[in-house]
A and B are shown apart, each in its own frame.
Chain A
Amino acid sequence: MERYFQEDIECASREKIKAIQDERLVNQVRHVWENVPYYRKKMEEKGITPEDIKSSDDLYKLPFLSKADLREAYPYGLVGVPLKDCVRIQSTSGTTGKRVVAFYTQKDIDLWEECCARAIMAAGGTNEDVCQVSYGYGLFTGGPGLNGGSHKVGCLTIPTSSGNTDRQIMFIMDLQATILCCTPSYAAYIGERMKELGYGPDDIPLKAGIFGAEAWSEEMRCDIENTLGIKAYDIYGLTELSGPGVSFECSAQAGMHINEDHFIAEIIDPDTGEVLPEGTQGELVFTSVDKEAFPLIRYRTRDICTLTREKCSCGRTHVRMTKPKGRTDDMLIIRGVNVFPSQIETVLLNHGYAANYQIIVDRVNNTDTLDVQVEMTPEMFTDNIGEIETRQKELVDGLKAMLGLKAKVSLVAPKSITRSEGKAVRVIDKRKI
């Protein structure tokens, strides 16, 4: 039986969802116009006033916000309420440039935690579950978000944060944790370590995992599900919009439902900014319609995906987004070809390798080189050199077919690629441009 945290909203009719969005958007635009001079200036430059926005049908008229705007307005330029009303900040890791610092009122935090609670219940969670949150706590949104969601559902929450893998496993076994929340790469590592300690999928009490904060492939999902004996659910979000829980998977595991009462999603052509019809692949853009402290309108996520409003078997009516192929930030341009690390991961797993890999990009004699380093596994090893070389060649061919690029494949020693407790470092770009 499908469980919902807020059934009336999660399964509302499309008309009701639109009515909520229309009303909230009109109010939000006015809120921003009056309280965020940075965005008001953008609207004025486009000749738009709040009177021009009568419903969500007028959304396309509004100017975009990009990560560059967040940097320019850092730290307080986009805050929509007096600081005395803000109760917290969260921040990104800042790996792709300056950190993003997002602000929250108490209401913002409550709504964010509700979004996470919806995700936990969609993964089958109830107040009878023991939920271990192995995302990092602190500035990173993963830990605080799922922790709050877990409380709202009423799960017994184990706030292990990330790291100390043997202790993670001890808690899972001793406290009989049934739900695990962490990054997919950390889930894979916990699985690997459990195997080493001699635990099979049947020895582990876990039944579901909620994994997000980085791009992961369908093949990696399969791997994690088999190793831990669970159903693995994807969860999506951005610090800029609140954190995890902007969208989440349900039992159908067929795309992530966007919490449309809080976020309006659009897909645009990343080059022209034009809104694309449903079902077309493009850049995902979000408007947070009821955030008070950090109200972003038409924020460009740089994530590439498609949207569908087709009926979902779980009963939820909110629009679904496909797993992003990766952020446009993660996208590598190698010899003029767009490459996402998740595409490389798919090929590796399809060829029987584990998801322990690193992508090294360099430039030699003005030509980009792509070196995919993957760990040798007991399953892939044989005494026959010819056979290993044949498999290596098949992998090169598979990568060529997927990427349209010739890559070098290096087989490296087991455990030589550093395991991640948070977001995995998949790419090392040594090019000096």
Chain B
Amino acid sequence: MSIRQISVFLENKPGMLNKMTEVLAEHSIDMRALSIAETKDFGIARMIVDDVYAATNVLKEADFVASLTQVLAYQIPDETGGLNKLLQTFTDAKVNIEYMYAFLGAGTAKAYMIFRVADTRAAEAALAAKGLKTLTQEEIAQI
């Protein structure tokens, strides 16, 4: 099952990212993972949070432009060669990755990867056929 990532537009000027984190902090929204993509003019903050609906609403109220994107989350053992093995499965399933980022689980020896691919559903099926199971929104919230 794919999960929902929030992507937020950030104008390129000092304090914008801080303003966003402030809004999330004020509303006790917990970020599971965060990645920033930047160009010379603007940035996009991509994040996985515990409460997608609340986060979307409070960001909108604070005049941020945000959108939801379907991404795939996988758990990998936090050990040498762990990512390599996972990516080999992607290659075997002929899945092209647009972007990805990693985060660690609290107090566990587990790492997690978020993948954005062109055709989420087809990729998920191809990877499932190779024995890879995605994490659900609920599982992510409980990490």
Contact = CB atoms under 8 A, between A and B. Distances in A.
Interface of A: 376-378, 381-385, 388-389, 392, 410-416
A383 B46 contact: yes
B44 A411 contact: no
A82 B47 CA distance: 72
Given A383-B7, A413-B16, A392 B41 contact: yes
Interface stretch (B24-32, B64-72, B130-138): B64-72
Cβ-closest 8 pairs across A and B: A383-B7, A413-B11, A383-B69, A415-B63, A381-B65, A376-B9, A412-B11, A414-B63
B11 A385 contact: no
B44 A385 contact: yes
17 contacts: A376-B9, A376-B42, A376-B65, A377-B65, A381-B65, A382-B67, A383-B44, A383-B46, A385-B39, A385-B44, A389-B39, A392-B41, A411-B11, A413-B64, A414-B9, A414-B65, A415-B63
Interface residues of B, number: 20
B37 interface: yes
Contacts of B10: 413
Interface string B34-46: 0001010110101
From DSSP, what is the main secondary structure of chain B's interface residues?
A: strand
A381 B11 CA distance: 12
A356 B66 CA distance: 18
Interface of B: 5, 7, 9-11, 16, 37, 39, 41-42, 44, 46, 63-67, 69, 98, 116
Contacts of B39: 385, 389
A384 B42 CA distance: 12
B114 to A, nearest CB: 12
A156 B67 CA distance: 44
Contact of A381 (B5, B9, B41, B46): B9
A388 B42 contact: yes
A382 B8 CA distance: 9
Contacts of A392: 41
From DSSP, what is the main secondary structure of chain A's interface residues?
A: loop
A419 to B, nearest CB: 12
A64 B51 CA distance: 69
A412 B42 CA distance: 8
B63 A381 contact: no
Contacts of B9: 376, 381, 411, 413-414
A384 B65 CA distance: 14
Contacts of A376: 9, 11, 42, 65
Contacts of B5: 383
A259 to B, nearest CB: 43
A410 B37 CA distance: 17
Residue with the highest number of chain B CB atoms closer than 10 Å, among A381, A383, A392: A383
A383 B11 contact: no
B16 A381 contact: no
A205 B65 CA distance: 30
A381 to B, nearest CB: 5
Residue with the highest number of chain A CB atoms closer than 10 Å, among B10, B42, B46, B98: B42
A357 B40 CA distance: 20
Nearest to B98: A384
Residue with the highest number of chain A CB atoms closer than 10 Å, among B11, B37, B39, B46: B11
Contacts of B16: 413
A376 B12 CA distance: 12
A124 to B, nearest CB: 36
Nearest to A380: B65
B37 A385 contact: yes
Contact of A416 (B11, B41, B66): B11
Contact of A411 (B41, B46, B64, B67): B41
Contact of A383 (B41, B63, B64, B67): B67
Given A376-B42, A413-B11, 9 more contacts: A376-B9, A378-B65, A381-B65, A383-B67, A384-B98, A385-B37, A411-B11, A411-B41, A414-B64
A413 B69 contact: no
Nearest to A416: B11
A406 to B, nearest CB: 15
A377 B11 CA distance: 12
A388 B5 CA distance: 18
A411 B7 contact: no
Contacts of B41: 392, 410-411
Nearest to B70: A383
A109 B116 CA distance: 67
Contacts of B116: 383
A410 B41 CA distance: 7
Nearest to B5: A383
A320 B9 CA distance: 45
Nearest to B43: A385
A373 to B, nearest CB: 9
A412 B10 CA distance: 8
A114 B10 CA distance: 50
B126 to A, nearest CB: 22
Contacts of A378: 65, 67
Contacts of A377: 65
